[in-house]
Every structure is written in structure tokens, then in C-alpha cells.
Structure 1
Amino acid sequence: MSKALHGHKARKRFGQNFLHDQNVISKIVASINPKPDQNIVEIGPGLGAITSEVLPLAQSMHVVELDRDLIPKLEFICDGKGTLTVHQSDALKFDFSQLADGDHSLRVIGNLPYNISTPLIFHLLENHKVVRDMHFMLQKEVVDRMAAHEKENNYGRLSVMTAYFCKVEPLFLVGPGSFNPPPKVESAIVRLTPYETLPFPAKDLKILQTVVTTAFGMRRKTLRNCLKKIISAEEIESLGINPTARAETLSVETFVNIANYIFERPAAEQS
């Protein structure tokens, strides 16, 4: 790996931090547990630290890489280890459903750039029906927010929408020294497993997203104040919810109940 690193400087604009700790790489690969004939796609493979270990076990995989200068190095490192299909693309704009060969067929992995990790997670959640599971290296703070439950300080929009679609399992921490260059934050590995059947299905996903985003838009305000343009305090109370409560006290199920009420109420009542 040192030869591969030579001559390529990590690019800040791409959020590049290259993983080099072999113990960590081995733990990540063991967590993924890749098998032949699985439909594996890696986001941001970089210099192939994980790719070169997963590919021989999976025999074939797709990778999505934005930095075109890395692609020849990646292909060289992975030569002879299996069939590698490279998509030179921005993962935020990439249509992951085009790689699916059935429902819940994709296994998505990656060391996600910190600067785009949250919007990228939301982009992938939109494709939840074609994804079997996701294993990501993320900033520890992001993983903590994903795994947070109601009434916890870091519970927010990311927590609610991730838990709506997926089972969230933080796996282990990764220190800055495992990367080149070392990031200024601690990292963590998380496993996200989309539900085949949603526990609390929303009748209209866009309404749910609007309710959640609006409710957390002004965290210190009550539901009565945050949501007044889309639902009245009386309607909130009719659902058995205290309108003076704050967003961080509401469960995923409660947010879905609010969204479904808004969807189902007569058109004359829609604001």
C-alpha cells in the first residue's frame, strides 16, 4: 500500500483520508463478510485498501469513484483479484438502482467522505428497496446521531429518517492514526440494514420528511410553534401528543402518525 500511496496526495476537496491500518481493514472486511455472487458496490474506494481485500472474496464488485486520477492506481492494485467494474461518478448523483438485480440485492460499502456523508446517506436511503445492507466508515458523531433514540441530545432528523428505513448497528471505533492523512475526528463503522417491511410505514414519504425537517428546524421550539404552518396545536393534541413537547421527544412512530394524519385529513383542511 505504501507504493500505491506514493505520488498521490489526498485531496481535501474530495474529503480523502486513506485507510492503511491492516487490523482495522481486516475487522471491516470480517464485518461485511463478502461472498461470491453477492452484488457489492463500494463508494469512494480510493487506493483500494478495502476493495483489494473484498474483491477476491466476492469475485466481482462495482465501485463508484469521483477522483479520476485514482482509478488507474485502483485498477492496478486490484488486477488479477476479480472482476472490478469502475463507475467514475459523483456518488451523490449516482443511480444505485441501476446496479440492482432484484429487491434488496445491493450490498453497499465505503469509507464515506465526511463532507458529504449526511446527504449521501439520505441519497442511499431513497434506494432502500434495492439495498440489502450498508457498511460505512463515518465520522463517529454522524454514527452517534444515526443511532440516537428519542430524548437523547443528538437525536434529530438523521436519527429519525435512518431509523424509519433501517436497523442501525454501530460496530466499532477507528482512531485517526488508521488514516493517511489522519483526520481530526474519530471514526466509526456502522451497519445499516433496510427493513423489508417498514415497521411504521408513512402514507406519503414527502409529508413525513417535511414534518421531521420542520420539527427539527428550530429544536428549542415546541411542536406547536414549529409545525403551526402544517398542523394546528389542537390537531396535535387530538393525536395524543402534547403540543408543548419538543421534536427530540418524539419517536419515529409518532412522527409517522403526524404525517399520516396530515395525509388523510380532508382537502378542505389542508393548509
Structure 2
Amino acid sequence: MSESLLKLLDEGKLLKYTRLFLLTYGLRARKKLGQNFIVSKRVVNSYVESLKEIHNPMILEVGTGLGAITYFIAKRYPDRTIVTIEKDPLIYDVVKNVLGSLSNAVFVLGDALNVLQEARVSTIISSTPYQLSTEILLRAARNNSINNAVLGVQREVAQRLVGKPGSENYGRISVISKLFLNIG
């Protein structure tokens, strides 16, 4: 089965990959973990291409999900190591089995929020779970080792990050982003 799934990834058929993955292993996105699975090759490509100008040997991925971002980063940048952390033990076991042949990917079962503040990496990447977007940003901002963060966030979070004083989107995260982050 792993070969069929890898073939779908190679062909860029992420929706089919996601459906087959979930169906085959009897899994589903768990709302309480804020899980969402990327089914657009264009979206995955935007994550992967955003790393083109960042030349760090190690990348920390917050939330492996079904491994699409992990897979394409590992393939595109074979000289870099991607350490990917997944909290859901069911998904972790399956993804590690399906993508375990990637020699430059390290799979970790754990809570990335516990790792993020102390991690000694300069680049993180994540399609952030909705309810954790702000917390991931805050912990990354507190970590002096992290120089680059490629984060997919929901529109509401993005609007709060760039909120102007006096607007309904302005708040604590707006102030922190202006002081500590370079949002591009």
C-alpha cells in the first residue's frame, strides 16, 4: 500500500493520496487537534519553494499531518534534514511507515509546542492547526535560534498579525508581530 500512496504523491495527486490514506488506515482529521490536511499541490509547492532562499541544513516541521509537506521538502532538498513532529500517535505510526524510506526525514512523536521553545534550529515550517497558530508564533518568536518561519495560517490569524492600531484586528499578536517578526 505504501507504494500506491507514494506513487500518488509523486504524481502530485494530493486529494487522491489523502482520501486513500485516510480510507486505507481508517483515520480522519481530529478536530480537537486542529488537524487539516493539504490537498493542493499548489499550496504544498508554495511551502517548498519558500525554502529556496533559506539555506539551513535542518528544518523543523510542526505537525507532520499526512506527510505531504515533509515528502516534497525531502525530495526537493536532499541535502537538508527535515525533523517533523506529530502529536497524533495514530497518524504518526502510519506516516512513519509510509514515508520512512526518506533518508533525510526524521519522524518524532510528540507535542511540538513543548519542543518549539527549546529547539536549536533556525527554520520552522508548518501548516498550523487553527487553534495553535498564535501559540506556535509566540513560541517561535521567543526562541532566539529561529530565524525563519514558513507558516500557513488562517485568514483571521493573518489579519490579526498585520492589524493596525484602532482596528478590530489589532491586539497582542499584532504588537508582538510588529516588534519581533518580519512578515512577508
- TM norm structure 1: 0.55
Kept in 2, the 8 Å contact 1:34–1:54? The answer is no
Match of 2:47, SS state, is helix
d(CA) in 2 for partners of 1:121, 1:42: 13
Match of 1:136, SS state, is strand
Question: Are residues 1:69 and 2:90 paired?
Answer: yes
- The correspondence for 1:116, drawn from 132, 138, 141, is 132
What residue identity is the alignment partner of 2:96?
A: E
Length, aligned pairs only: 163
1:157-172 equivalences under 5 Å are 157-169=172-184
d(CA) in 1 for partners of 2:53, 2:67: 15
d(CA) in 2 for partners of 1:26, 1:141: 23
Match of 1:85, SS state, is strand
Match of 1:167, SS state, is coil
Question: Are residues 1:152 and 2:167 paired?
Answer: yes
- The correspondence for 2:65, drawn from 29, 32, 46, is 46
1:215 — aligned with what? none
Q: Give 4+ residue runs of structure 1 displaced > 4 Å after superposition.
A: 34-37
What residue identity is the alignment partner of 1:134?
A: A
What residue identity is the alignment partner of 2:128?
A: L
What residue identity is the alignment partner of 1:168?
A: I
d(CA) in 2 for partners of 1:22, 1:3: 16
d(CA) in 2 for partners of 1:66, 1:47: 12
Structure with bigger helix share is 2
User: What stretches of structure 1 of length at least 5 have no aligned partner?
Assistant: 101-105, 170-271
d(CA) in 2 for partners of 1:121, 1:98: 14
d(CA) in 2 for partners of 1:114, 1:56: 27
- The correspondence for 1:5, drawn from 19, 22, 32, is 22
d(CA) in 2 for partners of 1:144, 1:116: 16
d(CA) in 2 for partners of 1:78, 1:96: 27
Kept in 2, the 8 Å contact 1:56–1:82? The answer is no
User: What stretches of structure 2 of length at least 5 have no aligned partner?
Assistant: 1-16
- The correspondence for 2:115, drawn from 94, 97, 110, is 94
1:162-201 equivalences under 5 Å are 162-169=177-184
Question: Are residues 1:18 and 2:37 paired?
Answer: yes
Deviation at 1:164, TM superposition (A): 0.9
Match of 1:33, SS state, is coil
The structure whose Rg is larger is 1
d(CA) in 2 for partners of 1:35, 1:164: 22
Kept in 2, the 8 Å contact 1:35–1:57? The answer is no
1:166-245 equivalences under 5 Å are 166-169=181-184
Question: Are residues 1:78 and 2:94 paired?
Answer: no
Deviation at 1:85, TM superposition (A): 1.7
What residue identity is the alignment partner of 1:92?
A: L
Question: Are residues 1:139 and 2:154 paired?
Answer: yes
Kept in 2, the 8 Å contact 1:55–1:61? The answer is yes
Report which structure shows greater RCO (CA 8 Å, sep ≥6).
2
Kept in 2, the 8 Å contact 1:37–1:58? The answer is no
d(CA) in 2 for partners of 1:27, 1:137: 10
Deviation at 1:74, TM superposition (A): 1.6
Q: What root-mean-square deviation, in Å, do the aligned CA atoms of Structure 1 and Structure 2 show?
A: 2.0
2:141 — aligned with what? 125
2:3 — aligned with what? none
